[in-house]
Structure 1
Amino acid sequence: MSMIDIGAVLPTAMDELSDPRTPGVSEAARAVEERGLESLWVADLVLGDGTPALEPALTLAAAASVTRTVRLGFGVLSVPPRPAPWLAAQIATLQHLSDHRILLGVGVGGFPDSPLWQALGVPAKGRGRATDAVLDLLPPLVAGEEVRFPSAETSLRLAPPAPMPPLLVGGGERALDRVLRLGAGWFPSQLSPAALGAAVTRLRTRAEARGLPRPPVTVGGHLILGEGPSARLAHDTLVRQLVEEHGVPEEEATRAPMTARTPGELAELYAAYAEAGADRVVAGADNVGWMEQLDFVAEARALLPG
């Protein structure tokens, strides 16, 4: 059985945090680390579909302050609304606060019609070009190199410098060109093990043809845990959203949710993703409380090798 790392998504949406059973960010971060998971992640809901939520960089700063070993991931940041110098300053600061534990998931952003995105005045068109421009500037800015900004007729050197964190490019197979150009990892979501395996084979074939190292793969998704009416409702709701809002073919959408009735079944699912080429799985549950899902995931992880 191939080795695989398992991550957990911190509770940051207001509907989660308003539930008295849900721990605050600091307590949740400590719980993830205490259970031995490899990483914790924060979704960029602020620039998502308008869901009220905590800001991701500040959330990871809080998590960094109460943990020592767990990796801290953006899963994933919408890049276009964030100016490169400001994002670089945040990333370098987080690297120092966390002793270089940041994992930088990035994407072009899937909700340019959301209220905050529109309030920032960022155009919906040209998101790919805007993302590439920022990602090209991030490594030298984070490293403290002098960077010229011709449009502003100025140069900038940020300090203190920090190591650039591992970069994980979110998105479907249209993101693979960006993955290969940047020498980054890939962060797809909502793919069954079979669909992931086929895509990873294509990615690694292209990387080998270019003489590039094997790109690491982190797969995200939604967990449906246990059984009964709540599990069935969560599954059917997610499938409907994938089909109606994201254009996923119904056959693939039906296979996309990560469903498991027991921790043993979840461990088998993790193993299937590992065999498909995933190096890490990051997923949160749609139908159980946050602490319940964390214990479920941790029990499944304990059944895997390593």
Structure 2
Amino acid sequence: MSLEIGVFLPTSTPDPEHPILGDVRASARFAEEVGLDSIWSTDHLIASAPMLDSTVTLATAAAVTERIKVGYNVMLLALRPVAWAAKQIGTLQYVSGDRLIVGVGTGNPAHGDIGWRAAGVSFEDRGRRTDEGLRVLPDLVAGRTATVGDGLEVTLAPGAAVPPILVAGNSSRARRRAADYADGWITIQSDPERLSGDLAELRELAAARDRAPLSVAVVAAGVSRDVGEVAAQMSAFAAQGVSRVVLVPTGEQWQRDYEFAAKVRAAL
């Protein structure tokens, strides 16, 4: 079965009362050792709970591993000047040996707008800025000349292989953005059956743009602790056309979570 299983690095948490901040080097190495396919970092400047910088985290993870893919899940592209984001992405792609995956999102409103204000960026304008960034990001990463801002032509060097770009979000707007600019779509979902309508819409959007079907990644939260049950759930995702599932942390014991994820992968 062609379904990749990934996990989050211990860099953040949805629960501000229980921050999950662990050893990035040890967790990255362990995820690779147990046979997982990808490791991911969350991203924000000021979130509702402690959170490490995603680019530094992924660079650290890439430096201590050889095979496993490393990814943003997800980069808030609009929070940064797009040329600077492209420079970080291209450098990560280079130092990781082309193992990077770039998930892009517009940000969870649950975190509020303080991080955006601290960066001098409009929270309300983040959707437009994300679209504009995605439009030029591949050219910038590849070292091709692109026009940014108020008509400024920019060429970054050295160029790098453009990594897979995935757009995240559960809304129709996010699926349209993925169909317009990305190689794939990321959604948060635990029920494979509830995904079918969204996938049909995504296929229609891609076809309307004369594009091949996009890849689909699922962030699966709240799964059970029964390996067989979760493996069956993952198989149902794969049957829907999902190519990658990322399991979320259940607490501070990342080693236990990674071992569980590896058992699920082996059971597929």
TM over 0.5: yes
Aligned counterpart for 2:157 among listed residues 159, 162, 171 = 159
Conserved? CA contact 2:45–2:53, under 8 Å:
no
1:138–1:269 distance in 2 versus 1, CA, 3 Å: same
Q: RMSD across aligned C-alpha pairs, in angstroms? A: 1.9
Partner of 2:227: 263
Determine if contact 2:39/2:71 at 8 Å carries over to the other structure.
yes
Q: Structure 1 192/69 Cα, relative in aligned 2: closer, same or farther at 3 Å?
A: same
- 2:15 is the counterpart of 1:16: no
The CA deviation at 1:71 is 0.7
Deviation sequence 1:209-245 (CA, Å, 0-9, x none): 44311100001132xxxxxxxxxxxxxxxxxxxxxxx
Q: Which residue of 2 aligns with 1:49?
A: 47
CA distance in structure 1 between the aligned counterparts of 2:240 and 2:77, rounded to whole angstroms: 28
Give the letter aligned to residue 116 of structure 2: W
Distance 1:48 1:301, change over 3 A: farther
Deviations 1:82-102 (A, max 9, x none): 111100100010011001111
Matching residue of 1:273: 237
User: TM-score w.r.t. structure 1 length?
Assistant: 0.80
Q: What's the counterpart of residue 85 of structure 2?
A: 87
Cα deviation, residue 80, structure 1:
1.4
Q: TM-score, normalised by structure 2?
A: 0.91
In structure 2, what is the equivalent of residue 250 of structure 1? none
CA distance in 1, matches of 2:252, 2:31: 16
Q: Secondary structure at the match of 1:285?
A: coil
**Distance apart, 1:286 and its partner CA:** 2.5
Call closer, same or farther: CA 1:13–1:148 in 2, change over 3 Å: closer
**CA deviation string 1:45-86 (max 9, x = no partner):** x34633211100110000110111111110011121111110
SS of corresponding position for 1:261 = coil
Instruction: Report deviation, 1:269.
Output: 1.3
Q: Percent identity?
A: 38
User: Which runs of no fewer than 5 residues in structure 2 stay unpaired?
Assistant: 14-18
Letter in 1 for 2:257: Q
Does the C-alpha gap of structure 1 residues 145 and 211 become closer, same or farther in structure 2, counting only changes over 3 Å? Answer: closer
Give the secondary-structure state (helix, strand or coil) at the position aligned to 1:188: strand
Structure 1 unaligned spans of 5+? 223-256
| Larger radius of gyration between Structure 1 and Structure 2 | 1
Code of the residue aligned with 1:43 in structure 2: it is T
> Offset of 1:183 from its aligned partner?
4.3
2:264 equivalent to 1:303: no
- Write the mapping of 1:1-306 to structure 2, written as runs, cut at 5 A: 2-13=1-12, 15-17=19-21, 22=22, 24-44=23-43, 46-47=44-45, 49-111=47-109, 113-149=112-148, 151=150, 154-172=152-170, 173-222=172-221, 257-258=222-223, 260-287=224-251, 289-304=253-268
CA shift, 1:118, in A, is 2.0
Q: Distance in 1 between matches of 2:147 and 2:129?
A: 17
